């Protein structure tokens, strides 16, 4: 189920796969490279028809630096909420690719990640 967020936009997009299908279902490390593997036209939020490219534009051109800001700019993640995890991963990857240090703490009051907490 972990790959659901990545596989759903690939299935909805109707575009031919750009990777070998077996790579989409292989164990971690052998499967897709994550959201980076999604094309810009892949629909990430089907509730509001928001593509990966629109999310990337909100981060780069819209000045959105957090998931709540991207939600406000694009409406992605404001419907059923099933895309929020993928949305967060894309926002984080885009910010990191731009050289921004991303705070992965659970909240502004707790600087540790969920993994560190466990």
Residue 47 makes contact with ligand FES by CB under 6 A:
yes
Decide if residue 81 touches ligand FES (CB under 6 A): yes
Q: Is 13 in the site for ligand FES (CB under 6 A)?
A: no
**Residue 9 near residue 44, CB atoms below 8 Å:** yes
Q: Is residue 45 involved in binding ligand FES (CB under 6 A)?
A: yes
80 binds ligand FES (CB under 6 A): yes
Token representation of residue 110: 């707790």
DSSP H or E segment with residue 51:
strand 50-51
CA distance 21 to 71: 31
Residues at the interface with ligand FES (CB under 6 A):
45-47, 76-83
């Amino acid at each position: 189920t972990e790959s659901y967020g990545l596989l759903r936009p690939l299935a909805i997009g109707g575009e031919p796969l750009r990777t070998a299908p077996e790579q989409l279902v292989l164990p971690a490390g052998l499967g897709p490279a994550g959201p980076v593997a999604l094309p810009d036209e892949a629909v990430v939020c089907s509730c509001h028809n928001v593509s990966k490219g629109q999310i990337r534009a909100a981060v780069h051109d819209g000045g959105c630096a957090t998931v709540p800001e991207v939600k406000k700019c694009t409406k992605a993640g404001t419907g059923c909420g099933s895309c929020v995890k993928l949305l967060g991963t894309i926002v984080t990857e885009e910010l990191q690719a731009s050289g921004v240090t991303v705070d992965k703490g659970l909240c502004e009051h707790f600087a540790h990640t969920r993994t560190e907490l466990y």
